[in-house]
Chains A and B, each alone.
Chain A
């Protein structure tokens, strides 16, 4: 099956610093990747859609200057939380949609971000 990895799995940082989270499709090429945010015992909230080689499309209410997304290759998308604050603490999950793989998104294991 298709595998998506995320790195790091957990990160703790100080307020005001920036944190980069990587999302990789390990055995397939992903034309589109999605970034979600999830609070405890709640559903996934889509933040943005990332297409390889083009600018990300952000959902309403998501600050594009705060959550920088780069999809430089068909197997890697990165999410950078800039000038992180405690309210940015959350579980961030990516998913990938492969070329020719219709109707199936493969999810990464998530990254727990804690901002002190």
Chain B
């Protein structure tokens, strides 16, 4: 069974601080996706990483895909209250079923 272990599950920081969220697996994924979800809304796709070692940047967010394509990280620089939300990593399972496997999620609270 393919699993994605996401950590930390909860993070409360002050505005301006940096943070990193990790997403790890013992299985290889063809790609990993990161989503952000606000309360009462559906997840919104932030980025998809496909190539081992790939780094993608989205303003203050930096996403990395491990060389072996088993792990990924999300780094936020100078966090702002607007970054508050639930961050989810997800990858497609084997067998081409189209099913997404989700990590446990990281609830981020950025205090002003």
Chain A residues proximal to chain B, CB less than 8 Å: 4, 6, 32, 34, 41-44, 46, 49, 91, 93, 95, 97, 103-105, 107-110, 112
Q: Give the interface size bracket for B toward A.
A: 20 to 34
Asked if A42 and B99 make an inter-chain contact with CB atoms under 8 angstroms apart, the answer reads no
Residues A109 and B41 in contact in the complex (CB < 8 Å), given A46-B99, A46-B100: yes
Asked if A41 and B86 make an inter-chain contact with CB atoms under 8 angstroms apart, the answer reads yes
B44 contact from A41, A103, A104, A107, Cβ within 8 A: A107
Whole-angstrom CA separation of A20 from B105 in the bound complex? 28
A-B contact pairs, 9 of them (CB 8 A): A6-B42, A41-B105, A44-B102, A49-B97, A107-B42, A107-B44, A108-B42, A109-B41, A110-B40
Chain B residues proximal to chain A, CB less than 8 Å: 6, 10, 30-31, 35, 40-45, 48, 86, 88, 92, 97-100, 102-105, 107
Asked if B92 and A103 make an inter-chain contact with CB atoms under 8 angstroms apart, the answer reads yes
Residue of B nearest to A31 (CB): B98
Asked if A34 and B99 make an inter-chain contact with CB atoms under 8 angstroms apart, the answer reads yes
Which residues in B have their C-beta under 8 angstroms from that of A97? 98
Residues A44 and B88 in contact in the complex (CB < 8 Å), given A108-B42, A110-B40, A112-B40: yes
Which residues in A have their C-beta under 8 angstroms from that of B105? 41-43
